[in-house]
Structure 1
Amino acid sequence: MSDKADRTRDPAEAISANGDERSLLVKPPTLAMLESHLAPYAAHSAQSRGRRFPEAPPSARTEFQRDRDRIVHSTAFRRLEYKTQVFVNHEGDLFRTRLTHSLEVAQIARSVARNLRVNEDLVEAISLAHDLGHTPFGHAGQDALNECMQAHGGFEHNLQSLAVVDELEEHYGGFNGLNLCFETREGILKHCSRENALRLGDLGERFLTGKRPSLEAQIANIADEIAYNNHDVDDGLRSGLLTIEQLSHVELWQTHYEDARREHPQLDGRRMVHETVRRMINTLIVDLIDTTRRNLADSAPRSLDAVRAAPALVAHSGAVAAQAAQLKRFLFRNLYRHYRVMRMASKARRVIRGLFEAFSEDPRLLPPAYQADDEAAQPRLIAHYIAGMTDRYALKEYQRLFVINDS
């Protein structure tokens, strides 16, 4: 064939005819190709229960990739940078925030998902979204806001995360929220009362029937615990609220600390802490993968529906679960109930209660978007406003309302 004739051919056809690997760049992979590695019990995009508002399918990514991308670009996700994990934002630059925690959860969850051949994009989307509804000041803020909302249905942060992705984000012309897939929304909702389950319809059905969510949701849930337990050890030591001597009574820590010292006798200080914590995380991840594989082999689910009907399949072995539980109890007693943490939590509760009471007494103090014409709807709008605040914004709002500045 002449050069002239070759130049008139379609480039994609010419590349394909020549067997050039670059044809993959011209002909993008299909959805089936992108998810061809997944096990039959995984969540497949093509089998999703869909979105609340129908949309044309994405052209260059899967439905769950689209969910992940929408979460990353959301306003609520950016706010996580300035929301507390354990230590309030102004206490130090190196402590975990809700953002760094969410990224760590996603990394752990993706590693587990890849080894089990389930959907990494879905497990990442759930992991990145699981704390979007968290209040400022961590669990102290959530507890205070829940107390304020007792007469109005209460407050729970994973229900608030669902409200964020379903209603509160304002990025799209055709709908409120992010319009995520059912499977992503299901994974965000880890706990739910019977009353809320009835209100949520299909999304709350499993809480009424005793069924399980997808494996991806189960993985994200345990990855959350692995991340915060181990990294709270790191932050606790960095802050000086925990000591290595205290941790010597915790089996999971001490086993890996002694191993690290034998292998690296020259290390001390922060590097030894990092070496120990990374070994703890690795043990928990490997055990989770191995135990879940055995559970899957025993249960042999052939579909996502079979996973939902089975007992919880993502789990640690008995021995490792006991070690993780001991670590969790240790952190509760020695870190979360440390007097310095309790002092900050007490201040946080006063800030949240003060804001809620001030806005309830006079809703005109609120930005117009959070002022309701219906008096019964006002408390929930106040909760939405407060829950969306970062730590430092909540402190500034409190000062604006209660502190008279002479300058």
Structure 2
Amino acid sequence: MFDYSERPDLAPYACKSGESRGRRYLETSGDPRPMFERDRDRIIHCAAFRRLEYKTQVFLNHEGDYYRTRLTHSLEVAQIGKAVARRLRLNEDLTEALALAHDLGHTPFGHTGEEVLNQLMQGFGGFEHNYQSFRVVDKLEQRYPDFDGLNLSWEVREGILKHSSPHDLPTTILDEFLPGVVPSIEAQLINYADEIAYNNHDIDDGLKSGYLTLELLKGVELWARMASRVRERYPAIDDRRLVARTVSALIGMQITDICETTWANIQQFNVNSPDDLRQVNRVLVHFSPVVEAESLALKRFLKERLYRHHKVDKMRVKAEHVLSRLFETYVKRPNLLSPKYRRRIEQDGVERTVADYLAGMTDRYALDDYRVLFETVERG
């Protein structure tokens, strides 16, 4: 007989499936697996997760097969999150579920898509991708006969909603999830796993694209220090392998720093249970002051040299045009929406329904939809 019980070596401050606040809708499936493990699997099997394969991280999906997508980014966040969770004896299933779900609500065309939709939705509740991820798992996925959404545990839903301090959320939603109170350590961890993943893979992708160079990176203290260590160990290393080994060393160093700093905070504030954490009400997961400063400098560098690169800006203009035209057209002519979406208009309003529709698109689907609606000449 298989043992489906939760791992016995979890730390006392870790979240445990057996102590969960439960699901919104009662289920009687008889599945013996721990709740957070089942949540992770529900996320992996949902349609929104599969669509992440064709959603932009920085570079548009059609620009090359080697650049990161939202899917590969989510997998890297899960890898980093689990590495930290294992060392701190946190709940790896909960950590992985949150990592895989944190970008489910992201638009096509990366953060540009989010900015465009937020602007278009002013006066209609705005648009924020963390809240959209919550809408995906709580309402928009339709896989079960008795309820909309995935019916995830309270802890996973809270972690999705509180990822990266979302703002302007409906109070009716926040009231269910202890507003003003920090989420679990596992949920706090995802914020930093996310940052570690995108900083390092954006360096890698930026170098592959040619928008960044190793010469430019010499001026970034964090990169220069780690690259120097790699060169000391491998004096004859070529540039391609240098990049790979430096990125790996950076991730490893930041994981170690997070573990040591978080463990020190857990001890300092005497957190011995999830309830203790709520009482202390502090973010315990963060970098040490030195690594935090270096990480901020790296983010500033990426913003100036990569995210504002003139070729990235050209992609941004294209994305703005495509999403704006699609939004305006569907709001004016909602009859063009499929019956599935038209049925939602009465409850959610036409603007929110159109935003849900566009946010669920992949990059290539948005571009194809634009061509169908606005291009009169078929391409040969």
2:259 equivalent to 1:289: yes
* Amino acid paired to 2:377: N
2:69 equivalent to 1:97: yes
Matched with 1:279 is 249
1:130–1:161 CA contact under 8 A, matched in 2: yes
Structure 1 residue 308 displacement after superposition: 2.1
CA distance in 2, matches of 1:296, 1:157: 30
Matched with 1:253 is 223
Matched with 2:275 is 305
1:327 to 295, 298, 308: 298
2:131–2:169 CA contact under 8 A, matched in 1: no
1:57–1:63 CA contact under 8 A, matched in 2: no
2:35 equivalent to 1:63: yes
Which runs of 5 or more residues in structure 1 are unaligned? 1-25
Pick which of 267-276 and 69-78 moved more: 267-276
Cα 1:348–1:195 change in 2 (3 A) is: closer
Matched with 1:144 is 116
Structure 1 residue 265 displacement after superposition: 1.5
Matched with 1:201 is 175
Matched with 1:115 is 87
1:58–1:66 CA contact under 8 A, matched in 2: no
CA distance in 1, matches of 2:239, 2:268: 44
* Amino acid paired to 2:238: D
TM-score (ref. length: structure 2): 0.96
2:349 equivalent to 1:387: no
2:3 to 29, 47, 50: 29
2:240 to 247, 253, 270: 270
Cα 1:124–1:339 change in 2 (3 A) is: same
Matched with 1:167 is 139
* 1:259-310 Cα distance to aligned partner (Å, 9 max, x none): 1111111211211100111111111000000111111111111210111232
Q: How many residues align?
A: 375
1:83–1:97 CA contact under 8 A, matched in 2: yes
1:291–1:315 CA contact under 8 A, matched in 2: yes
Q: CA RMSD in A?
A: 1.4
Secondary structure in structure 2 of the residue aligned to 1:150: coil
Pick which of 61-70 and 301-310 moved more: 301-310
* Amino acid paired to 2:33: R
2:48 to 60, 76, 79: 76
2:157 to 169, 185, 196: 185
1:165–1:177 CA contact under 8 A, matched in 2: yes
Q: Which has the larger radius of gyration?
A: 1
Which structure 1 residue ranges, 4+ long, deviate > 6 Å from structure 2?
A: none
CA distance in 2, matches of 1:186, 1:199: 10
CA distance in 2, matches of 1:225, 1:274: 18
1:212–1:309 CA contact under 8 A, matched in 2: no
CA distance in 1, matches of 2:79, 2:310: 32
Structure 1 residue 375 displacement after superposition: 8.8
* Amino acid paired to 2:3: P
Which runs of 5 or more residues in structure 2 are unaligned? none
1:167–1:176 CA contact under 8 A, matched in 2: yes
Matched with 1:42 is 14
* 1:69-110 Cα distance to aligned partner (Å, 9 max, x none): 000000000000000000000010000000000000000000
* Amino acid paired to 1:242: L
Structure 1 residue 35 displacement after superposition: 2.6
2:4–2:34 CA contact under 8 A, matched in 1: no
TM-score (ref. length: structure 1): 0.90
